[in-house]
A and B are shown apart, each in its own frame.
Chain A
């Protein structure tokens, strides 16, 4: 019932062929895990959006909640222990959190697909890659085994796996790391989804192979005009492919910015610290800048701004008041499109 009402509200037609405009809107998403030790607050009010053809990079350290957000969008969180106490995940005008499992299953894989970090453990070792690729077509489109296999070969060609025809019956362990990641990409692409979520797609790969895989992903994204959420901790990869960036810390977005802006003028001390800790040529032989301390324990996130114990600029207000994500402006108040910072002292951070 709710769903039909929702659709009526939204003027944008929900036709399957529509391939532009706003794809995904995550609004005030919270995720927590109820464990024996207490409630782990993994995501605490995340907002972001992705348009068609756009690449959003979600940057953060381990435990910052970047992967949990992605899993919540995909609907693959283990619940329990996971719980989404509030928030909305709006995909093409519909709140996915209000859908039935049946409806979500139709979106998952067909409209939103995910590429996982570790291809070897994400593929089933006892099924051939051809079977696993074809599964998408058999389940979603009801194709026969033979047709699905032909489609699988086509997909493997598309992601540039040499000798696809001969290799379609091989098993995951017979492929190298880079090839396995290509198979993961092929699987995500199978039904030409509108949005792909790539969770650290190249972290386990060598740099030369990483370059190949990122190139392939960028080409395919252009070809299909897909939205891409790239989850990573690598500032280099982000600079190479992202359009806009959301920096996460302790389950919150601390800064959002278009890619060029972020690297030039960070507006949050955490982003600045990350950028400063990259070894640079002129710093050879000197001490590297290091953010002091450790990422917070999500069981007891510091009060106020979660970054305050590690922040060089922290003042009393940072220990008591949670800074909201506010728009960042120029000195004269001119608006900076797409920029936001969750710091009480963003003005001092960006304008020196």
Chain B
């Protein structure tokens, strides 16, 4: 695959993320040992720095020529702390799911680093990478297509043990799978059933059990409840919160339902067109948003209270998200922003605490990538 090299990737300076303490492992044994080492609660477990993923666009059938790139993720940085839930929200096409795949090393990053306990996982291979993958697991969006219809539940949940036999010796697997079924609230006797015999919510529980099988430290949840019925969503969210306490997990929770994200997250990041627009604690983002995109997003969410529909101000964005193959210069949101000025077209706003709020002890003082960041009162769903 041709990787774009000429495209100068803008060095996105994010001053407010923690410093990475890298671990220089000489041998694979040392690398694995560092990966197995525990992390204190509240310490960063995953540090993402200037992560970039460009998918090349090619032309020609015999001689393939690169004519551009879809800039799915274009320089994002954030930390995930041990034991916390970081929510990532944004519209479709903003690169949320690509971030998830990069963190799982299912995709190779074009540039940037992902430090897991001080080691850059984009450069790991062999045993060390395998050890990392054991510790970072994923729960997928669609419980109908992410389970193999020809495998029994026992085989699906037990499959991770085939790759990592050290977690459960062969003779012990059946018991282990039954334990997992019990943990996620399914009857352990269902071990020989097939996925089609379960409802959507039950299937998502199977997907969660598979994610838990290897005792991971991080679970990346890519829209885990959006395919489920309203009355079942709450059940799965409760289960995920219970499991987080029980197994001391860190979640990266990707979703587009803002009220669910607020409920489950400690911190929330808002993505727009491959960039992080704003990041902060749930209170900072939902009650004191300073980026116009976050404000528009929050105001667009329908409030489940008919009393609110009269007096509330709604920011209705015009147009669609621009193509990530040809994003606008400067601030990517400027084409739909009501505050846009010349400066926005020329300078890329950095993700930093806005100067006007710097040093102040207000909830508005959190990282926001806007030249004209200011608070705006928006009524919203959560």
Contacts and interface: CB of A to CB of B under 8 A. Distances in A.
B230 A61 contact: yes
Contacts of A176: 320
Interface in A272-304: 273-275, 277-281, 283-284, 287-292, 294-295
B316 A215 contact: yes
Contact of A208 (B201, B300, B304): B300
Given A176-B320, A206-B92, A263 B231 contact: no
Given A235-B304, A239-B306, A240-B309, A277 B382 contact: no
A290 B302 contact: no
A22 interface: no
B306 A207 contact: no
Nearest to A202: B302
A260 B305 CA distance: 8
A284 B262 contact: yes
Interface stretch (B114-122, B166-174, B233-241): B233-241
A61 B227 CA distance: 12
A240 B263 contact: no
A334 to B, nearest CB: 22
Contacts of A236: 301-304, 381
Nearest to A175: B320
Interface residues of A, number: 45
Interface string A33-72: 0000000000000000000000000000110000000000
Interface residues of B, number: 41
A108 interface: no
B376 to A, nearest CB: 16
A23 to B, nearest CB: 23
Contacts of A288: 234, 237-238, 263
B39 to A, nearest CB: 22
Contact of A283 (B92, B258, B263): B263
Interface string A249-283: 00000000001100100000000011101111101
B320 A178 contact: yes
A283 B237 CA distance: 13
B306 A237 contact: no
B309 A289 contact: no
B377 interface: no
Contacts of B307: 260, 263
B308 interface: yes
B101 interface: no
A179 B306 CA distance: 28
A208 B303 contact: no
Contacts of A177: 92
A14 B241 CA distance: 58
B306 A295 contact: no
Contact of A207 (B241, B300, B382): B300
A209 interface: yes
Contacts of A280: 382
B304 A263 contact: yes
Contacts of B316: 208, 211-212, 215
B297 A207 contact: yes
B54 to A, nearest CB: 22
B263 A279 contact: yes
B297 A208 contact: yes
A283 B297 CA distance: 22
A230 to B, nearest CB: 12
Interface string B358-381: 000000000000000000000001
Contacts of A321: none
Given A236-B304, A239-B309, A263-B305, A61 B263 contact: no
Interface in B265-320: 282, 296-297, 300-309, 314, 316-318, 320
B23 interface: no
B241, B260, B300, B307 — which one has the most chain A CB atoms within 10 A of its CB?
B300
A176, A208, A275, A289 — which one has the most chain B CB atoms within 10 A of its CB?
A208
Contacts of A291: 231, 234-235
B320 A290 contact: no
A234 interface: yes
Given A236-B303, A288-B238, 6 more contacts: A212-B316, A236-B381, A237-B302, A239-B302, A281-B262, A288-B237
27 contacts: A62-B229, A176-B320, A207-B297, A208-B296, A208-B316, A209-B91, A211-B316, A212-B316, A233-B229, A236-B304, A236-B381, A239-B304, A263-B305, A263-B306, A277-B230, A277-B231, A278-B304, A279-B260, A279-B262, A280-B382, A287-B238, A288-B237, A289-B234, A292-B235, A294-B199, A294-B232, A295-B231
Interface of B: 91-92, 199, 201-202, 229-235, 237-238, 241, 256, 258-260, 262-263, 282, 296-297, 300-309, 314, 316-318, 320, 381-382
